[in-house]
Structure 1
């Protein structure tokens, strides 16, 4: 199976049959697969610790990465004990100051006859590639909140006119736990963007050390590799919540890969369930989004025995700074010429104001 690519639909069926209690011999004959291929497929399925539901949600390309390009080691009790240690280790590595060597010392203290440090590191990399086929960054708990808009929009219908209005789909995610927030907003203008970012922090009940937006105009007025110019309203929000803004670098997709990955997942778990339904207000749409979001955050992470919300509450929430009692109030500045009648016009509210002599 490592040398010849197997049809991924057969892989799905093989795992489904196995989960339903069918024998390897039956699966081999029914799907016209070699017994060795079936054994390897099932062995890898057991090593990864995935449910059939998770396997069924993956695309053919993702399954090919998991099942076609990975050789399966015979899992000894010693190696299985090591693999059982890795999910805990992955969580610990998200804490500041924790290293792989520190975790090996903990492992060897519990298992004196276990693997030495070099083999320990090798097996951790192998396990990491199996549960995370795409390379990922190591995020520290409470460090960064990534925010972005989905490319595809949603719609609401005006009750009075029947007009279909396009609305934006905002997503925020914490790096370490992947705990996610989403909402619909009327636009990507700075007022709506700042409000969505604030709503996300209120949802998470804490402030991260930094907020990482994309280079949209509501966040960054002028992008720069070294010193980007932050939109004034967003900078004021950061000052109010005692955090900082770290815009993703232009043409550096890995800077925002986490939130883009979250958007892709939410397309499958939220967007697909909403696009055929008619909504007549933003509040009605958001209620449905939040119901689906709760289910998403409560699902077990791929290859791990815990969910996003469990990981957030146990490891990340206590690392966040407390929220200020007062919500942020956006401020506007305007430069105007005094007219001959001694007044200036404020374009924001289209009113005239007298100027002291």
Structure 2
């Protein structure tokens, strides 16, 4: 096995395929991991006594699964699989029967199980049959396996709506997905073609289907494949997380091989004829209106019978495919972002998108960590363990600091020499009522009280630099506005704005006389 350790994401993908009965050769091909490495993990999972119990092993945390993998000892004993021997003895019979009218793989599998109850499950049966057929290279019709695959692609042409306020024509890319067995499909217009939009549409697609197919395939578009390779494509981490959450395998077509996803290529053409063409004279004013129109035409399409057949796509899907789909997970996959960063000397890492800093335990200073965040939370990982959890804060150049992340000497300073609200409010009161009032407003404006400590400390240092009277005047002036931070006070002092009010009152350029108008002269009658 290679010295380089596989990611937990890849190990879980291998575990999923092993649990489905895929051969080591097949898994190696799908995951682009060497066959000896697949065998190594297969032995480890077998020795765990789980018999590839996917639900049990997938409940382990990354740390627990890593301990199992690193502690496993691979053996060299090869035990012949009698089921496989028995299957290949009948392979010629299966292939010859498939040439007969009306005979399907599913029928042959049912007959096979009657004769051999401990035989392979349907997906493994089909895989071995494909292997046997490839050695004989017969010419036959290609059958799609129910619930095995979902093909995904963008339509080449976009739909559009007209903004009611500006009159601007807004173009919207359209994502198409189809189950090849039944032809049951899903179509959705998107805000843009970014990966988060694609993942959101994939969530809607699975919800529409009411279940999860075994695999999803698309071409080498950038939203699906981050690194193109004929033999080893790399998928974006967000897409991999979506796949693991939904227990679905990710596949990519060979470069410049549209026949690898022929069903969705055909579905795009059907979408043009049965959705685009019927909506061409309709003016939409929002993305929601477009998708409502799409769904109406899509439902009509599903209810129409196939050409020269007596049943529809909807009937075929409901009767033969929907029940074979995997169950939807309890929760919908939540879009998350991933980045890496180095812990600064002040034991914080930064999310560049917001330029906000988050603390981690000080022992990780200088370490490279993985940052996972969404609209609500920020999680920071070192290795496979989470070392910090914060509420997402969008304040630019702000700090989210947790007391327990500080070294002991910093905690003492924080707890005894000012890093608490009472200390700063007491110091502010000593300087003056306006300073105290400004500190009150500053603390209220922060999501957590710890975020106010830095600005408060900075303002107290301005007292030493400019004097308490000037800082008091600056706070009085700042309270007339609505921004409460260190920068406001510093700007007022640097520009001597705290002195302007006093100067204008002491040296009025217009002498007092009876002809001056008062405020009452400007009131609207």
Range into which the TM-score falls when normalised by the shorter chain: 0.5 to 0.7
- Summarize the alignment of residues 68-79 of structure 1 with structure 2, pairs less than 5 Å apart: none
Partner of 1:125: none
Partner of 1:352: 357
Partner of 1:264: 269
Q: Which secondary structure does the structure 2 equivalent of 1:336 belong to? A: strand
- Summarize the alignment of residues 193-208 of structure 1 with structure 2, pairs less than 5 Å apart: 193-208=198-213
- Summarize the alignment of residues 16-35 of structure 1 with structure 2, pairs less than 5 Å apart: none
Give the drift of 1:261: 0.4
Q: Distance in 1 between matches of 2:168 and 2:347?
A: 43
Partner of 1:305: 310
Partner of 1:251: 256
- Aligned pairs, how many? 236
State yes or no: 1:155 paired with 2:144. no
Tell which structure's C-alpha radius of gyration is larger. 2
Partner of 2:496: none
Give the drift of 1:218: 1.0
Question: 197-206 or 218-227: which moved more?
Answer: 218-227
Within the candidate set 141, 146, 151, 1:146 is matched to 151
Within the candidate set 177, 182, 186, 2:187 is matched to 182
Give the drift of 1:249: 1.4
Partner of 1:172: 177
Partner of 1:282: 287
After TM superposition, what 4+ stretches of structure 1 lie above 6 angstroms from structure 2? none
Partner of 1:219: 224
Q: Which secondary structure does the structure 1 equivalent of 2:337 belong to? A: coil
Unaligned runs of 5+ in 1: 1-84, 103-134
Give the drift of 1:277: 1.9
- Report if aligned partners of 1:154, 1:168 keep a CA contact under 8 Å in 2: yes
- Report if aligned partners of 2:149, 2:216 keep a CA contact under 8 Å in 1: yes
Cα pair distance change 1:345/1:274, threshold 3 Å: farther
Partner of 1:93: 104
Question: 272-281 or 222-231: which moved more?
Answer: 272-281
Partner of 1:325: 330
Cα pair distance change 1:293/1:349, threshold 3 Å: farther
Q: Which secondary structure does the structure 2 equivalent of 1:333 belong to? A: strand
Cα pair distance change 1:240/1:227, threshold 3 Å: same
Q: Distance in 2 between matches of 1:349 and 1:329?
A: 20
Q: Which secondary structure does the structure 2 equivalent of 1:334 belong to? A: strand
Q: Which has the higher contact order (CA 8 A, sep 6+)?
A: 1
Cα pair distance change 1:145/1:94, threshold 3 Å: farther
Q: Which secondary structure does the structure 2 equivalent of 1:221 belong to? A: coil
Partner of 2:511: none
TM-score, normalised to structure 2's length?
0.42
Partner of 1:233: 238
Q: Which secondary structure does the structure 1 equivalent of 2:350 belong to? A: strand
Partner of 1:37: none
Give the drift of 1:268: 0.8
- Report if aligned partners of 2:160, 2:172 keep a CA contact under 8 Å in 1: yes
Cα pair distance change 1:136/1:263, threshold 3 Å: farther
Q: Distance in 1 between matches of 2:266 and 2:196?
A: 26
Within the candidate set 315, 319, 322, 1:314 is matched to 319
Give the drift of 1:296: 0.5
Q: Which secondary structure does the structure 2 equivalent of 1:335 belong to? A: strand
Partner of 1:76: none
Q: Distance in 2 between matches of 1:346 and 1:145?
A: 35
Give the drift of 1:303: 1.4
Q: Which secondary structure does the structure 1 equivalent of 2:231 belong to? A: coil
Give the drift of 1:287: 0.6
- Report if aligned partners of 1:94, 1:141 keep a CA contact under 8 Å in 2: no
Give the drift of 1:256: 1.1
Give the drift of 1:158: 2.4
Give the drift of 1:290: 0.2
- Report if aligned partners of 1:94, 1:139 keep a CA contact under 8 Å in 2: no
Q: Distance in 2 between matches of 1:296 and 1:278?
A: 21
Q: Distance in 1 between matches of 2:223 and 2:105?
A: 30
- Report if aligned partners of 1:337, 1:344 keep a CA contact under 8 Å in 2: yes
- RMSD (Å), alpha carbons: 2.5
Cα pair distance change 1:176/1:94, threshold 3 Å: farther
- Summarize the alignment of residues 8-157 of structure 1 with structure 2, pairs less than 5 Å apart: 89=102, 93=104, 95=106, 97=108, 137-157=142-162
